[in-house]
Structure 1
Amino acid sequence: MTANGFEARRDRLLAVMTGLAGAALLALILLRGALRDPGLNSHGALADAFLHGRLWIETCPEIDCALFQGRTYVIFPPLPAVLAMPFVAVFGFPGFKGFVILGLALSALSLLVWRAILRGLGTAPSDTLWLLAALAFASPLYQVTLRADGVWFYAQAVGFLMVSLSLWAAICRASLPLAGLFIGLAFLCRQMAIFYPLFLLFLCLPRERPLMSGFTGLAKPAILAAIPVAAALAVYFTYNIARFGSPTETGYAFINNPDQTTFIWRRISETGLFSRDYLLFNTLYLFLQGFHFEFGGPQLTALTGFDKAGTALLVTSPWVLLAFYAKVDRVFLAGAAVIATIACITLFYHSNGAEQIATQRYALDWLPILIVLMARPHSRAGDGQGFGTGRPAAFAALPLLVTWGVTANLAVLAVLSVYRV
């Protein structure tokens, strides 16, 4: 058998393994949506409030609600609740018990958008399939879909779709105004999206023109793109004023979680939302912390728990390491600056995403940029045989890295399900 024949057989085996593991992970989402979605998502309560002409909710169905002047508020941006309004209008609250299925639909739409983005970048069909599998089952997108019955995870699924659409608008439509519209909507889900316009601007700059002349040519589209972003900021500031009397007060100062004893609550109440005290914890969990099962009993043979603070991105999504081979140019530098800004802010944040079996979900705020940088062609036009012309040899490891991420996620979920940890 030739070397090429062996490699093809190896990749087919990995594809079968990934397909079976992915199918099992998808089944888990469907089962959770059918059996374990209680319909008590705080965005559902907020959607019900909007339908009744209120900004406050009657009771807090989860944690992390604000109590201000005798009223209870959902502290998070409002767009995810707006998207849930038609379903809550039909089924009521908490009558609507389909947030996991809604999250699955949003993630499926995101994958369709990413298929278009990767095609627009000239990625080969086989590599496109591997990257879509990575996104679906070996990235934080999987766990926010699985847990979309929770307010935090559902909001992240909506935000990821909006960010993806902004990149689609820039890459596939070369439309900076349309990209600005979607990033404004993304901001109304996840505030960190406000840093994306820099990257979108550089994505839309003509590659063949010098930097300053490129900026001059994009002056009008940039102004048009700024309008929806400014409008989103105005909506959010007005929303905050109406609730808490200040444009920059999001409600975190008034969080009311009675009887909470978690380390997250102790951090908020004793240290604050941001502190350098959180840096080591967040950094290790983002880059180095592996899966950690806890054992008890006299002989340490009884599985008693699992570290749900998360697992490092490089452990559960090792395919992101291929971004090391990204083409370095002005687009790369702009993307790296946005990634560094978002990641550095979250490294000082009191939470790294709460309960999670895989990497912290906050990585979804900047992971789309990393994927674009990784998949961009290395020359002006891709050759249709990989990640653009001059595809590094290291990308031959993509199938193996994705298969590891998918099967590792399934293995951990299987163990936790069997042992009910």
Structure 2
Amino acid sequence: MALALAVYVLCTLVFFLLAQPERLHAHTPFNHFALLADSWIHGRLDLGGPPPAYAQMNDFAEFNGRWFIAFPPFPALLLLPWVWLAGGAEGVRDGQAFLWLAGIAPAALFLVLEKLRRREHSKRNVIENVALALLFAFGSVYFFSAEQGTVWFAAHVVGAGLCALYVLFALDAERPLLAGLMLGFGFLTRAPLAFAAVLFALEALRVCSEGRAGGGEGDMARTQESVRPPAAVDESAGQRLKVWWQRLDKPRLLRLYLTFAAPAALCVAFYLWHNYARFGSVGEVGYRYLKVRWAGRMETWGLFHYHYLGRNLGVMLSGLPYWNKGAGAPFQINAHGLALWFTTPMYLWLLWPARGNAQRWLYRALWATVAIVSVWTLFYQNTGWQQFGQRFTNDYAIFLFMLLA
């Protein structure tokens, strides 16, 4: 825990030292979460009037003549005390507030990596785990998200921290209530994180197939195979499945799932009510009411569609700097950002997994989680726009760094 605290302090210090001065001394021009918190303090779900001029009408939803913040609301809850103490949204240095929170994700990631080491899921040592946590903080798009501080990037800072805490509690299905709560808060911050529930589901299945929780040191060889039906040359797949089903501790599995689901379901219920109270429909999040230039494509293709896949994959895999013949910096990047492998080259290491990794249960569970979380942003109508690298990869970067371990 002391090392995790040191990681938090170091990361936060560096984030502050490298932040633009205006982030520390004034609110950002896109302080949507502070505006939402201020609305709550005044007993409203809408803004009570048009957005402030400094926000340039950027990503506000208009419905029935009222203006709303369409983004998931949990980061606004974190700003409530700041707004209350400051007496209003404009008095809150929201960029600075999120800098204080930015050290949580790398510190929690370090705790996750250490848990993997202790349970013999990883062969990394403590120093290597510190290095991986710092690489996440400063060598991925998380760094640029933390330094931005505006509404879109602030959500990623909060979401990554909640994701890391969720994983910490979800590993070995050790803390189902806290895992469900962190995932619920994550959903109220970055909606794709809801699909990371697959990791807890698979971890609970594994430990209940073992017949006990934990899987402490020395149990690794046994735990990797225990979740699968025992293999036998003269048994059919159906027979092996039957034997595995008989071994599965089903009452315990149900208890784990229900304990995990309870707080997450409450968060989802709140979100559905929040949608209904604002827009008259539990399924309406408000994005189609945004006053943005690309509203037409959302009307045509919707928020999610395979029509967007080619462009999103292009940004993720092929965005590179280009030569700038004019004055200023010799290289320039596209506003959609750089390729994932260019911003964090270490991800390329995942293409050559260590021997035996592909057969390990947790390894496959992590890749399944990456796939189900990332697919939504690949089919999403927006690339992330005006970013150093694709910011949506923050939603599953924690899982990628676990795979690196």
**Distance change >3 Å, CA 124–CA 31, structure 1 → 2:** farther
Please, which of 194, 215, 220 is the counterpart of residue 255 of structure 2?
Answer: 220
Q: Cα 1:87–1:80, aligned 2, differ >3 Å: closer, same or farther? A: same
2: CA distance, partners of 1:187 / 1:334:
20
User: What is aligned with 2:36?
Assistant: 46
CA shift for structure 1 position 130: 1.6
Q: How many residues align?
A: 346
Question: Offset at 1:294?
Answer: 3.8
Name the TM-score, length of structure 2 as normaliser: 0.78
C-alpha deviation, 1:60, in angstroms: 2.4
Alpha-carbon deviation of 1:330? 2.8
Equivalence for 1:339: 370
Change (3 A) 1:101 1:172: farther
Unpaired runs of at least 5, structure 2 = 1-9, 118-123, 211-222, 229-244
Q: What is residue 349 of structure 1 aligned with on the other side?
A: 380
* Residue segments in structure 1 that go unaligned for 5+ positions in a row: 1-19, 376-421
Structure 1 residues 104, 214: CA separation in 2 closer, same or farther (over 3 Å shift)?
A: farther
Shift of residue 201, structure 1, vs aligned partner: 2.5
Whole-angstrom CA distance in 2 between matches of 1:64 and 1:96: 21
Task: Report what 1:210 is aligned to.
Answer: 227
C-alpha distance 74-102 of structure 1, shift in aligned 2 (>3 A): same
The Cα of 1:321 is off from its aligned counterpart by 2.2
Letter in 1 for 2:115: G
Distance 1:293 1:305 in 2: 6
Partners of 1:32 and 1:245 in 2: how far apart? 39
Scaled by the length of structure 1, what TM-score is found? 0.75
Sequence identity percentage: 28
Conserved 8 A contact 2:12-2:100: no
SS of the equivalent of 2:62 reads strand
RMSD: 2.7
Aligned with 1:353: secondary structure? coil
Task: Give 1:103's aligned residue.
Answer: 98
Counterpart contact for 2:170–2:199, Cα < 8 Å:
no
Q: Deviations over 1:131-184 (max 9, x none)?
A: 122111111211111111x11111121111111111111238821222111101
Please tell me whether the aligned partners of residues 293 and 303 of structure 1 are also in contact (alpha carbons under 8 angstroms): yes
The CA distance in 2 between the partners of 1:304 and 1:335, in whole Å, is 36
Give distance in 2, aligned partners of 1:59 and 1:281: 33
Measure, in 1, the Cα distance between the counterparts of 2:180 and 2:311. 34
Contact 1:294 1:307 (C-alpha < 8 Å) held by counterparts: no
- After TM superposition, the structure 1 = structure 2 runs for residues 175-194 of structure 1, keeping only pairs within 5 Å, are 175-194=175-194
How far does residue 210 in structure 1 lie from its aligned partner after superposition?
3.2
Is residue 2:135 matched to residue 1:134?
Answer: yes
Equivalent residues of 1:39, 1:94 under 8 A apart: no
Alignment of 1:52-67 (within 5 A): 52-57=42-47, 58-61=49-52, 62=55, 63-67=58-62
Q: Match of 1:410?
A: none
Query: 2: distance between equivalents of 1:21 and 1:132?
Result: 10
1:7-86 map, 5 Å: 27-29=17-19, 31-35=21-25, 37-38=27-28, 40-57=30-47, 58-61=49-52, 62=55, 63-86=58-81
Is the contact between residue 323 and residue 371 of structure 1 (CA under 8 Å) also seen in structure 2?
no
Matches of residues 264-343 of structure 1 in structure 2 within 5 Å?
264=294, 267-268=297-298, 271-292=301-322, 294-296=324-326, 306-324=333-351, 325=353, 327-328=357-358, 329-343=360-374
Question: Aligned equivalents of 2:116 and 2:262: distance in 1?
Answer: 27
CA–CA separation in structure 1 for the residues paired with 2:11 and 2:313? 29
Contact 2:192 2:373 in 1 (8 A): yes
